[in-house]
Amino acid sequence: MAKHGNVQDLLPNQVLNRTSFHFQPQRNWLNDPNAPMYYKGFYHLFYQNNPLAPEFSRKKMIWGHSVSQDMVNWIQLEPALSPSEPYDINSCWSGAATILPDGRPVILYTGLDNNNRTQVTVVAEPKDVSDPLLREWVKPKYNPVMVPPSNVYHDCFRDPTTAWQGEDGIWRVLIGAKVKDTETGMAILYRSDDFVKWTKYPVNLLEAEETGMWECPDFFPVSITGKEGVDTSVNNANVRHVLKASFGGNDCYVIGKYSSENEEFLGDYEFTKTSADLRYDHGTFYASKAFFDSVKNRRINWGWVVETDSKEDDFKKGWAGLMTLPREMWLDTSGKRLIQWPIEEINHLRTKSVKLDSCEIKTGAAFEISGITAAQADVEVTFNLPSLEDNPEILEADHHVDDATLFDRDSSVGCVYGPFGLLALASDDLSEQTAIFFKVIRRGNGYAVVMGSNEKRSSLRDNVKKSSHGTFVDINPRQEKISLRCLIDHSIIESYAAGGKSVITSRVYPKLAIGEAAKLYVFNDGTRGVTMSSLEAWSMRNAQINTNTTY
């Protein structure tokens, strides 16, 4: 295996595959976002990090730490937490931050101890609360504060959430877990008067059979009256609660009503570990963590984008793993789902733009959007299907097709319209392309919109993972235009449909479609023309991502 990070070993595409405005450390491995927070003028992002190699380490995971004033440009600081004590000597795994009522931040994280790597919960506090960079963290003597209960195996007890206070002033926190000898995943509730002594509550806040281990749970209120975020302890008639759990490779969530008085979370539905579960993202996205930004009163979520490149090439490049863009999150007016949208600060990276007027995209067309840096771009496009109502052929399309066929960009079986959309990170000859597409199908008496991001042709390399991601977008194409925003950054494409109702992230490694050779197209492979009612695209500037280190 090649020595990692040896620049002379890299092929041009591997240099150009590195992103320009997504968060990752300079070198080596990143996974889960941990403890995002705002403190004294700085946003902090911690992350699971192997500082020694671009692969996950069974022996020594630490907490990397970066700070920012806009969540776009970041400065890398020294690691915040490293194994040092018997209770975390085998790794410092995921956790979250809580801002106490007096403004002090405190972290709860997962320690892997010296006794068979048992997962325990550990408290860490800033050494100097007057330091806005929070560079040093100390682990009080009373640690660890929680150990696995008797119905849980030692390695199925981890990832404390941000804590919240009930109306009674008592602190609560959730730990992700799984019931011994079953596939029942759960969020175990612990309570504390003083943030030091934690007692397990007899009833789980939520559990679901057949979902497996719940990792990185998250639990927070969302306003029912608007986009603004609310602090994690807020609970009143104007909020509902979201419980997110990471399992089976997806971040799934339930919306419901939480009462601290009854210590009860009543979800509107149950987790099923099927495509029926609500997901933050239908692509490559896991172990996310949200926080309340008190500066702009918004809730922001970060997710980990798992690598799709081969381990051998991760070693050649010297890096692996990155974060999605920070996404603002709020409850849809329907109350049925969350909406996600890149934070407004990302728009400051927009530079040169192109704008196109409404035009028809004929069947079989693929035309290039030129005039911007297609490898590093932000694109907003809307489509309209003018003749949906009275097309005489539509009845013929009324048959049942399975989801795998619908989510396949190369199949038009069952389509009334589509696939149409964008071809991102495409080569001149289209032999490489990631299609972010829509199809309209008949469902029952109406129409449904399918969104997909298809990586099957994303790279001529065969040693990268290429998936077909797909979902349904909850809009009525008879009444609404179909909108799409794609943020393209060399080897990642984040696609937001219908203003953020559905999101798909693709991690792709083109070989030809790199740097200036990367192109962007609008396409329509459907058998009917569609109208592109608007398109605006911008070149994106580079962000300063951990290029400045302070140590």
Active-site positions read: 32
Cβ–Cβ contacts within 10 Å for residue 119, how many? 26
At closest approach, how far in Å is the CB of 243 from ligand DQQ?
16
- Residue 251 sits in the site that holds ligand DQQ (CB under 6 A): no
- Residue 214 sits in the site that holds ligand DQQ (CB under 6 A): no
Residue 225 token pair: 């009256």
- Residue 287 sits in the site that holds ligand DQQ (CB under 6 A): yes
At closest approach, how far in Å is the CB of 495 from ligand DQQ?
23
Binding mask 10-39 for ligand DQQ (x = CB under 6 A): ---------------------xx-------
Contact positions with ligand DQQ (CB under 6 A) in 158-187: 158-159
Rank residues 121 and 373 by Cβ distance to ligand DQQ and give the closer one. 121
Contact positions with ligand DQQ (CB under 6 A) in 89-118: 93-94, 110
Rank residues 16 and 216 by Cβ distance to ligand DQQ and give the closer one. 216
Binding mask 119-158 for ligand DQQ (x = CB under 6 A): ---------------------------------------x
Rank residues 61 and 482 by Cβ distance to ligand DQQ and give the closer one. 61
Q: Would you say 305 and 233 are in contact if contact means Cβ atoms under 8 Å apart?
A: no
Q: Would you say 34 and 94 are in contact if contact means Cβ atoms under 8 Å apart?
A: yes
Cα dihedral value 340, 343, 346, 350, nearest 10: 70
Report the candidate in 295, 285, 322 with the shortest Cα–Cα distance to residue 546. Answer: 322
Contact positions with ligand DQQ (CB under 6 A) in 59-88: 61
At closest approach, how far in Å is the CB of 93 from ligand DQQ?
3
Rank residues 25 and 229 by Cβ distance to ligand DQQ and give the closer one. 25
**How many angstroms separate the CA atoms of 44 and 56, rounded?**
22
How many chain residues are in contact with ligand DQQ, going by CB under 6 A? 13
At closest approach, how far in Å is the CB of 526 from ligand DQQ?
38
- Residue 408 sits in the site that holds ligand DQQ (CB under 6 A): no
Cβ–Cβ contacts within 10 Å for residue 393, how many? 10
At closest approach, how far in Å is the CB of 69 from ligand DQQ?
27
Rank residues 93 and 407 by Cβ distance to ligand DQQ and give the closer one. 93
List the 434-443 sheet strands across, edge first: 366-368, 519-524, 415-426, 434-443, 446-454, 468-473
Cβ–Cβ contacts within 10 Å for residue 338, how many? 22
Helix (H) or strand (E) holding 312: helix 311-317
The beta strands (E) that lie in 307-375 are given as: 319-320, 322-323, 327-331, 338-342, 350-356, 359-361, 366-368
Q: Tell me phi and psi for residue 157, to 5 degrees.
A: -150, 95
At closest approach, how far in Å is the CB of 159 from ligand DQQ?
5
- Residue 48 sits in the site that holds ligand DQQ (CB under 6 A): yes
Render the burial of 505-525: b for 16+ CB within 10 Å, e for the rest. bbbbbbbbbbeebbbbbbbbb
Rank residues 31 and 204 by Cβ distance to ligand DQQ and give the closer one. 31
**How many angstroms separate the CA atoms of 213 and 98, rounded?**
24
Binding site for ligand DQQ (CB under 6 A): 31-32, 48, 61, 93-94, 110, 158-159, 215-216, 286-287
